[in-house]
Amino acid sequence: MKMKLIINGKEKGLECEKVSDLLNKLRLNKDIVAVELNKSIVHRQNFDDTKLKDNDKLEIITVVGGG
């Protein structure tokens, strides 16, 4: 079943149970991202057992060029 997630400020309808499912669906390499779920950090080792629910707010960040 699809649920509503707010990812990086944008609403997305996705079918995924856990954080790791979401990253797979978005084709993101888990080694180069960090995830906040409702403003709390989800550690990489917990991606597999952190469940998502309707209306969850996620921040998925990575490293970019900067000074």
Distance CA 3, CA 55 (A): 8
Residue choice 41, 48, 51, 55 for contact with another protein (CB under 8 A): 41
* Residues whose CB falls within 8 Å of the CB of residue 57, separated by 6 or more in sequence, listed in order: 5, 6, 37, 38, 39
Our finding on whether 11 is near another protein (CB under 8 A) is no
| Nearest to another protein of 41, 55 (CB atom) | 41
Q: How far is the CB of 66 from another protein (least distance, A)?
A: 3
Q: Under the rule (CB under 8 A), what is the footprint of another protein?
A: 8-9, 26-29, 31-36, 41, 43-44, 59-67
